[in-house]
Amino acid sequence: MNLPTKITVIRIVSVIFLILTLAGLYIAGAYFGYKGPSINSQIDVIYLCLFIIFVLASMTDWLDGYLARKLHQVTNLGKFLDPIADKMLINVMLIFLVLPSTFATSQNIVLPVFATIILILRDIVVDGFRIIAARKNVVIAAGMLGKIKTVLEMLTISIVLLNGFPFFYIGDPFITQIIVNVLAYLTAITSVVGGALYIYKNRQVLKEND
């Protein structure tokens, strides 16, 4: 197993550890009354740690791809594991941030449910399309809207993890939540449009071989 693949595996293990930790925190908050500390009654310390972990994990996503190309160590195992690691990280955070926190008293911003459902369903459809393309030995590069969607997704997740920062300086959590909702649905719309164009431009993949 080469270095880029090891980094990808570390990211997968980190996400699994993250899932177990979050499950434990929710149980502790719901059944044992655990409440985490906050910074200036705005940003929960645990959510801040999650933000740092999320940023570092996102950076390793770029790093393993860069090293694989730089060192000429692109492998089939790496191609298989890398998108799994990406989807695990993003989808775990999306689902987690839909739920009202049981352990963070200062956290009052969540992701809108339907935007989250749209984002996850879009990824399932596009990933299914990529599997079909891979079986036909067709490599399809990500489209521009797909890259924009990824940036918007990471930005939205980061803002929610930081409880609406910097928008919470407005002073009204309701307005902050509306801003987050608009950003989340903008991400969802970009995701759907980008996915539809991605499939349409490469629709020959769906044709049966003669």
Kindly report, residue by residue over 11-69, the tens digit of the pLDDT.
Answer: 898 889 889 999 999 999 999 999 988 887 889 999 999 999 899 888 887 888 778 87
- The domain boundary, picked from 87, 107, 127, lies at 107
Predicted confidence at residue 5, as pLDDT, reads 86
Looking at the structure, tell me whether residues 90 and 128 fall in a common domain.
no
Q: For residues 31 and 76, state if they share a domain.
A: yes
- Last residue within a domain, chosen from 91, 107, 123: 107
User: Mind listing the pLDDT tens digit for each residue in 105-157?
Assistant: 889 999 999 999 999 999 999 888 888 887 777 767 777 888 899 889 999 99
Same domain for 10 and 68, yes or no, is yes
115 with 91, same domain? Answer: no
Distances from the Cα of 202 to the Cα of 89, 100, 130, 132, 191, angstroms: 27, 39, 10, 11, 17
Whether residue 124 sits in one domain with residue 83 = no
- Reported as a single tens digit per residue, the pLDDT across 161-193 is 999 999 988 888 999 999 999 999 999 999 999
Residues 78 and 99 reside in one and the same domain: yes
Predicted pLDDT at 177: 95
Same domain flag for 98 and 122 = no
Question: Residue 149 is part of which domain span?
Answer: 109-210
Q: Say how many domains are in the chain.
A: 2
Same domain, 145 and 69: no
Q: 45 and 66 share a domain?
A: yes
Residue type, 174: F
Q: What is the pLDDT of residues 56-98, one digit of tens each?
A: 888 887 888 778 878 888 777 777 788 788 888 999 999 999 9
Concatenating the DSSP letter of every residue in 77-139 gives: HHHHHHHHHHHHHHHHHHHHHHSPPSS-TT------HHHHHHHHHHHHHHHHHHHHHHHTT--
Cis peptide before 37 (omega within 30 of 0): no
Pairing label, strands 43-44, 38-39: antiparallel
Three-state SS for 38? strand
Same domain, 32 and 79: yes
d(C-alpha 165, C-alpha 62), whole Å: 25
